[in-house]
Amino acid sequence: MSQFLDTNVLLYSISGDPRESGKRERAIALLEDDSSAISVQVLQEFYVQATRASRDDAIPHELAAGLMEAWTRLRVQEINLEVLMGALRIRREYGYSYWDSAILSAAVALGCERVWTEDMAHGQVVEGVTVLNPFL
């Protein structure tokens, strides 16, 4: 079973907050699973959020870039016309934000069966992909 990881999973994997230790462990386990996939969008969002100066536990560029490069061992969906048009369709049909719709569209393009995220409706099926919150 292939699974798609949303940006929040990557961000929890680097969290230094002791209150998020369970989420950090779960996120790391998902990232170590060879059936996991991500997209260029997820990598971009990770970089922006992980290095944001206002973030309490911001990481330096070099560490963020190194993690991103390591994560390219997973299947990575590029941003292309198919993903864009799929995102617009999902946005129209399901009412998610464009960015969440683009995550779902990338998962569909990769043939993933699940999207792990805490940002969408747990249990909803979108174009054959089940949205699941890994932190419940």
Q: Which domain holds residue 12?
A: 3-132
> Facing residues of 49 across strands?
none
pTM of the model: 0.95
pLDDT in tens, 79-117: 999 999 999 999 999 999 999 999 999 999 999 999 999
Residue type, 134: P
* Number of domains forming the structure of the chain: 1
C-alpha dist (Å) from residue 115 to 66, 76, 86, 112: 24, 14, 15, 7
CATH of the domain at 80: 3.40.50.1010
